[in-house]
Amino acid sequence: MADGATDPRTIHLKDYAPFPWTIDGVDLTFALAPRATRATSRIRFRPNPAATATGPFFLHGEDLRLIEARIDGQPVTPTVTEDGLTCDVPPGPFTWEAVVEIDPESNTRLEGLYLSGGMYCTQCEAEGFRRITYYPDRPDVMATFTVRIESALPVLLSNGDAGATGPGFAVWHDPWPKPSYLFALVAGDLIPHRDTFTTMSGREVALAVWVRPGDEGKCAWAMESLKASMRWDEDTYGREYDLSVFNIVAVDDFNMGAMENKGLNVFNSSAVLASPETATDANYERIEAIVAHEYFHNWTGNRITCRDWFQLSLKEGLTVFRDAQFTGDLRGRGVKRIHDAAFLRSAQFREDNGPLAHPIRPESFVEINNFYTLTVYEKGAEVIAMLKRLVGDDGYRRALDLYFARHDGQAATIEDWLQVFEDATGRDLSQFKLWYSQAGTPRVRVEESFENGTYRLDLTQTLPPSPGQPDKAPMVIPVAVGLLNPNGDEVVPTTMLELTQPRQSFTFEGLATRPIPSILRDFSAPVILERDAPEGEAAFLLAHDTDEFNRWEAGQTLARRAIRAALDGRAIDPAWTDSLRAVLRDDALDPATRAVLLARPSQEETAQALHAEGRTPDPLAIFQAHETVDLHLAEGLHDLLPGLHAQGQVPGPYSPDPGSVGRRSLGNAALSLLSRLDGGAAARAQFAGATDMTQTVAALAALLAVQQGEAELQAFHDRWSGDRLVMDKWFALQVSLARPEAAVATADRLTGHPLFDWKNPNRFRSVLGALAGNPAGFHDPTGAGYRLLADWLIKLDGANPQSAARSSTAFSTWRRLDDARQALIESELRRILAAPGLSRDLSEMVSRMLG
């Protein structure tokens, strides 16, 4: 696509129209074969009374070979194109039948029906079903499905409840109407890990996690996570599961984390398989969260789906919010909130403030796979969190109950979602709706005064221009504020201020002394807070604030000042280290909280902050400043680090319970710093004695960060070369922790390793994704990192355009760099764009980045 041109295939929200026909039922039969699977469809259509115009009868279809087609039993000859087919049809109800042939073995896109290590599986969201048969492949067309699978493979699975089975076949029926993107089929040699769950109404549900032989010992945690999710959704939202069976299948080759297909969730193996020897604490928590996320979709995504893909955040943002609630309830709300806010600010704010910025509900797209973004998911969840804060817990529950009652079985819109809140609470949400249509991260400037016992806060909001949106209207921004007195006592508890104007003032009266404000508590809105805080205030809040997020934010403020001092060649203020010493010695604080308070901002956050100030970030200078700060911190805490590390050695068998995880987290945070002082001695000892993957990886990472650990790296390889998921860690650690001057060469060398399978998304990300996550290495001033990634993106695009497009976002911040690096990146982006046969997935992303 030429710069500034509009792709003729661009889809616009304003052009939405209902499909002219509805479907009364779908019968599918699959005769599976690696190179020539035959799919026979029988679909009962009738005119849609909600459609204002009929138009031609069009069914989506891509990479299919049409064998025959019939209407009401009579042969027809449709007009077939690369996008689908059109056909003359009767004016009333009719039955469409078609036989198509598919080639799963050659499907490296991992969309539609494909083979992964001899196992048939599907991925249909967003538009993969059109690679399975001719169908109206859009989310607002919902129907019941009956599926017959014919194969000699021992396990044949699809959506819904099991029907008839026999030698070489199985039938499944899903009684709940669903769009085609929720269709799933799996067939292979699989082993089940079984359990049951009794719902709140007393029904027994059969549960199974299906894996390849040899992985059956790694399923228990996923099963426990599933049962915990089912119980939590009943207790918290009143949502009961609605089928007699729930299946999860682990697949090695999968573009995403998992997929919520009705009753048959298909997961990336990395989001299912776990044992103490092979998975870290972070892996365990990720599995728990993803299992919960996909299960929660049963109501927020399946029973109520989205009318069109512009409404994607209706299901994804809401379900991310629900899985965050779940994790917070199980593992601690404060720490979970801090982790979520840190990720949002480092990753989604970057998206919001670059060429790929877009509203939560975009107005148009060329390739919908490119809008499965952090903005839709994570910022979408933040908007729901703000909505809950504004209406309160009771108002939120009333609105959700109304949402489920009013829209069950429907394909809904953002307007439908906001309407239930207005109806349930009486609030006018017309201004709040701007969060869905305006791109970018708002900035809130704070000024203050105190006179005669009255404290005043003046808040100003701005929303910078973004692609296609030069001017923005003021938003509704909930700003949670608490006030402390100089003794550290809270004199005004958390109060929710609603900023709705470009500038507003808020007053607090009857105060004996000038208070110390704690602003944006619990990260009450996804904004950038700007305030000239008095000297010493951050250290005071780190010591005294009762809000966990703002206590952490105070520590981050001190860390950012230290990084800035290192960047500018100034001495680092000892207040940061002194304040952290007090925090780390406070045994009343749980270890998980102390671990997050010890964390430093990412290099990406530093780059964002410099760019926002009008300074050009130098990735190498930022890396060196962070190294200086880490050494300074290690030296300042040297006497505490051995003890903290010792506390992190949890005795007894491994457990992923929150208490044990918190202890290991604090101990390994201390180990990372300690290794800068002892040359890696403590890390080597931990590596040698580790009995679980958490301690093993933490020790290896600590060694690599100080340019040690070659022997340990080889030992890790020799021990785990047969485990694909563990080896992903081995690849990623080397690249992400390589020194800037060695990162590109390390990544290039590893792409030649016998175990580097570039067609496997996990393995590709473990090397090329890790390089992009090493900013000083990726942005090597010679441009070697840019050339390496561009070479691989062009190659990957020919096999898996979706993965290539997502990996291309490594270039998204190119315009904030110096002129020399910008020129190098622009050259690579234009080289990618000129590649013959480039997919529309990758061409759209590169064109947007070029502007």
Helix (H) or strand (E) holding 551: helix 548-568
- Cβ atoms of 300 and 319 closer than 8 Å: yes
> What's the CA gap between 283 and 270, in Å, rounded?
8
Query: 643 in helix, strand or coil?
Result: helix
Beta-bridge mates of residue 306:
412
Cβ–Cβ contacts within 10 Å for residue 203, how many? 13
- Cβ atoms of 177 and 204 closer than 8 Å: no
DSSP one-letter string for 822-842: HHHHHHHHHHHHTSTT--HHH
- Phi first, then psi: what are they for 125, rounded to 5°? -85, 130
CA 308, 313, 314, 320: dihedral to nearest 10 degrees?
140
> What's the CA gap between 543 and 559, in Å, rounded?
15
Is 285 annotated as catalytic?
A: no
Q: Which of 294, 351, 382, 448 is catalytic?
A: 294
- Cβ atoms of 780 and 744 closer than 8 Å: yes
Identify the DSSP state of 93: -
> What's the CA gap between 340 and 333, in Å, rounded?
10
Q: Write out the two tokens for 641.
A: 């680090």
Q: Compute the Cα dihedral for 791, 1, 820, 439 and give only its sign.
A: negative
- Phi first, then psi: what are they for 255, rounded to 5°? -70, -30
Residue of 567, 644, 572, 552 lying closest to 609 (CA atoms): 567
Helix (H) or strand (E) holding 641: helix 641-647
Identify the DSSP state of 392: H
> What's the CA gap between 460 and 125, in Å, rounded?
41
Residue 558's Cβ-count burial label (10 Å; 0-12, 13-18, 19+) is buried
Beta-bridge mates of residue 57:
87
Query: 75 in helix, strand or coil?
Result: strand
Cα dist from 375 to 323, 360, 809, 819, whole Å: 17, 6, 13, 28
Non-local (6+) Cβ contacts of 586 within 8 A are 594
Residue 373's Cβ-count burial label (10 Å; 0-12, 13-18, 19+) is buried
> What's the CA gap between 250 and 212, in Å, rounded?
8
CA 564, 565, 569, 572: dihedral to nearest 10 degrees?
-150
Residue 234's Cβ-count burial label (10 Å; 0-12, 13-18, 19+) is middle
Q: How many contiguous H segments (helices) and E segments (strands) does the chain have?
A: 29, 31
DSSP one-letter string for 704-739: HHTT--HHHHHHHHHHHTT-HHHHHHHHHHHHHTS-
Residue of 212, 208, 170, 206 lying closest to 191 (CA atoms): 212
> What's the CA gap between 534 and 407, in Å, rounded?
51
> What's the CA gap between 521 and 590, in Å, rounded?
20
Query: 471 in helix, strand or coil?
Result: coil
Q: For the chain, give percent helix, strand, coil, nearest 5.
A: 45, 20, 35
Characterize the bridge pairing of strands 204-211 and 245-251.
parallel
Catalytic machinery residues: 294
